[in-house]
Structures are given as C-alpha cells and as structure tokens.
Amino acid sequence: MPFTMRRRTSSECTLLNSFSRQLPLLVSAAALACGDPGETLSEGQGGSAGASGSTAGTSGGATGSGGGSLGGSSSGASAAGGSSSGGTNAGGVTSSGGVTAGGTTASQGGTPNALGGAAASQGGTTTSSGGMTSGSGGGGNPSCTATGFYVKDGSLYDVKCKEFVLRGVNYPYTWYATRNSAQDLAAIAATGANAVRLVLSSGQRWTKTTANDLTSLINTAKLNKLVSIVEVHDTTGYSEQSGSVALSNATNYWKATDIMAALMGQEAYVILNIANEPNGNNTSTDWAPSHVAAVQALRTAGLNHTLMVDAPNWGQDWQGTMRGGGGASIWNADTKKNLVFSVHMYDVYGSSSTVTTYFNTFLMNYEAPLVVGEFAADHGTAGDVDEATIMALSESLGVGYLGWSWAGNSADLATLDIATNFNSASLTTWGNRLINGENGIKATSKPCTCFN
C-alpha cells in the first residue's frame, strides 16, 4: 500500500477544529486529517442515535462528525444504526448532535449494508450466555442485557453489546513483577491499545501471581481503559519445554478461591486465557480433550468470563488441528458458548498465503471468534513473519491481535521487543510497525465501550 494521508500536527488540528465548529464541511477535512478510528468522519458513530433514541453526545469535543460533511453523509448512510453507544461514543470526537451526524444517520438507520445495525439489534438476543445473564444499561442500546463480554456470530461483544476487536500487546508481568506495572500499563494505553495480555504464573515455573497482584493489575488496566487478557504461562510448550506443566495446573490456579474472588465481577473487563501454549508438539493430540476438561471445570466453578483457548503446536497450529475444526468439542463443551480461540503467529506464518489460508479456514469452521494472541514481525533467526498480512486481514476481518511483547525478551528474541527497555518513547522497529504502521494499533484500535 504505497499511499497514505499524513496525520495533522496538533496545532493544525486545533486550527482545523476551531473552524470546523462553524463550517460544517470543514469537519470532514479536520476528521480526515486529524482523526483516529473514533474520529475520522465518524462513520456510524451517530447511528445509534436512531436506534436508541438518544441524542448524539459531545464527549471529547474535538470535532463534529458532520452529518453535513462529505464523510458524515456517506458513512452514516452505510453504517447507520451500527453504534449502540449512541451519543456517548468514546472516540473523543463526536458530532454536534442530531442536527448533523446524529440526525442524518438516524434518518437512514437500517441501511441494508449496515452490519453495525444488525449488531445493535442483535445485542439482546446473542447466543452467548456468559455475559448475558442479567440486564444492564447497554449504553444507548436499551435491548442490551449483557453483564460481560460475550460471543455472537464469530465476533466478540462487550458489556454494552458493541463489537469489540482486541488491539493490544502482551505484557510480561510475571518476569518483571518488580517493575512499576502501573507506569507500564499507562504507557501501553498511550499507544492507543485497547487491551493488554498479562503474562501471569501459577507458581510452578515462576513466582506465583497472587490474588492481590491480579486485582491490582486488573484495576490498573481498567484505570487505563485496557481490557485485560490474563493467562498462565507455566504451561508453555508442555511437554517439550523443561519445567512446563500440564494445562490442569492452570485450571487449578483459576479455580483457587482467592483467584476466583479476584476475577468474579470483572467479566466486563477481563478475558480469561486459560493457559499459554499448553500443548507443544508431543502433546498436540491432547489439545482438545484437555481443554474440554478445563472449560468444563472453569464453568462448573462458576467463572462466566469469556475464555480464550490457545492453539496446539506451541500456539502456532502448524498441523491445522485448530483451524480445521478440531476445537469444535471445546466449543461444544462450553455451556456459555462464550469462548474465543487464539493462534500465535510466528515463523509458521511467513507468507501471505499461509496467513490468508489460516483465517479463511478458521472462519469457515467456527462460530467462535479468532484472535491472534501473539505475533511479531519475526521470530528471531527462526524466520520472518508476514505481519503485514496478519494486520491487514485482522483489520478487514474484525479479528483481534496482540503483539508480542512490550519488552524484556531474551537476547535471541530481542527483535520481538516493542519498546526498548520498557521505554515507550523508544519504540523498536517492530514496535513502531505494530503501533504506528499500516493497520497498526493507532490506526485501528477502538476503545472498549465497557469503560464508557
């Protein structure tokens, strides 16, 4: 993709925005030039005004979405009704009310091409029961009764019944527990990420992450408007890697009374990634049966969170077990049907065709969503990763991605660090690609409306 528009500098944006309040057409130009995903031409943002009957909001106040503008009209027409956040959108830039985007989109809500409209209307009838057991506001969508993340039609939805696409990074908490994680999570949030995958330990290989630690991490992430994906890393590569432990150890960690207490009530903000890469190559045939047992155990224990299941073969699924439908028994074992699958894309995914085939085949075979739970631009000397295709297809298919990892990788995998020495002001080549590059976090991340 050789073309792009340059983002405006803040001073240019300030000037444009000051004009835009008076000149409707300038709104689109300002949004085009200054916007982030929530800002640009405010596609669909005002749409829920029609669905919910609420008026468009004014949060952020940077620009209006300009129903009278080029962008406001066209995007509103195609995506009207899509937003369930109504006038309280989180983009930081909203319309000047129903007169512009709200009014335009409301009048055109229900355009057949507007998938968003479907999502909004389906909010109250989702098949996933994990987060849908009792009513809550829904933020402008009166039919939304979610109490946490849930899954519908192959996508993940948040507590406000808005589709949520993960865009974030992995944070190596357990190996750097003495660091100021609050500072690190704030830096991660500042990249525009909407989620962070937290590396934890059940205590078998590293120092156990305590319930207090977990509570603190979740709360810090929430303060920074980051959805937490929590995972136990001790299982990595079982049984090839020395010291790695079986999946049941991770299940037992989550079921412990104190850990359960830290997780309960956080269903709107936390996704539970049962275990990191718990099946190497030797145990890949045990992947489905062991996860069936894990899912049943966690549900029986009373954990209703969205569960995330890592693929076999060190998460890379090179044998195609998961992508080919081998996880159907895991999905079927989940009484809540509130589960996402996660593939880790490294050197197995060094070409566009491998990545494309993976996405296409998985999406053909599952009702559950797919997430790229780890990936990078290379895997050290093991080989290149086609991160451009991963990011482009993730974006066009609504698949979540989480880059590995914020910092602290060993020397042989130092190219996988996103920030040099945890310093967000010094992004590595990979970090710059992930955050600022095409289809990167800055360009594509949308905040979870669970924080609205």
Partner 1 sequence: MAKRRILRLSLLLALTMGATFAGARLTKKLATDAAAPSASSSDSPRFSNEQRQAITQLSVRLRQQNAAVPSQAVPGASNAEIITYIAESSEDPEVIAAALSEVESRYSSRSSQKPLPDAALERVLLKHLDAPNPRVAHAALLAARVALMTKDPSDALTRRLANAAAPERPANRRHAALEGLSWLRPDRRSAYVLSALEQALSASEPHLLSLSLLALSQSAPSLAALEPSARERIARRVLELGEHADPGVRGRALLVLAEVAELVPAGARLSTGQQHLLDPHPYVRAQAADLLLRCREPLAIHQLIALVPDMALARYELGGFDELEGQPGVLLHSVPGRKRVAEAALLAILSLSQALPGVAALSLTLGGREQSEAQVLQSAEIARTWYRAEEARIPKQSVAVP
The single residue of 231, 277, 395, 438 carrying the catalytic annotation is: 277
Query: Smallest distance, Å, CB 146 to partner 1?
Result: 15
Helix 352-365 and helix 387-397: axis angle, to 10°?
30
- Is there a catalytic annotation at residue 39? no
Query: Smallest distance, Å, CB 67 to partner 1?
Result: 6
What is the rounded CA–CA span in Å between residue 374 and residue 368?
18
CB 313 within 8 A of CB 282: no
**The tokens of 122 are what?**
């389906």
What distance lies between CA 141 and its chain's CA centroid? Answer: 21
Query: Which residue lies nearer to partner 1 by CB, 45 or 304?
Result: 45
Query: Which residue lies nearer to partner 1 by CB, 68 or 148?
Result: 68
**The tokens of 81 are what?**
């009704």
Query: Which residue lies nearer to partner 1 by CB, 37 or 408?
Result: 37
Query: Smallest distance, Å, CB 216 to partner 1?
Result: 30
CB 343 within 8 A of CB 373: yes
3-state secondary structure of 240: coil
Query: Which residue lies nearer to partner 1 by CB, 181 or 316?
Result: 316
The single residue of 12, 374, 387, 395 carrying the catalytic annotation is: 374
Query: Smallest distance, Å, CB 174 to partner 1?
Result: 18
**Dihedral angle sign, alpha carbons of residues 433, 436, 442, 443:** negative
Query: Smallest distance, Å, CB 393 to partner 1?
Result: 7
| Cβ neighbour number for residue 323 with a 10 Å cutoff | 24
What distance lies between CA 265 and its chain's CA centroid? Answer: 20
- Is there a catalytic annotation at residue 277? yes
Element (H, E) at 374: strand 370-375
**The tokens of 413 are what?**
């995998």
**The tokens of 447 are what?**
């905040």
Strands 150-152 and 270-273: unpaired
277 has which bridge partners? none
Query: Smallest distance, Å, CB 135 to partner 1?
Result: 22
3-state secondary structure of 198: strand
Query: How many residues are present in the chain?
Result: 452
Query: Which residue lies nearer to partner 1 by CB, 22 or 178?
Result: 22
Query: Which residue lies nearer to partner 1 by CB, 272 or 275?
Result: 275
Q: Which residues are catalytic?
A: 277, 374
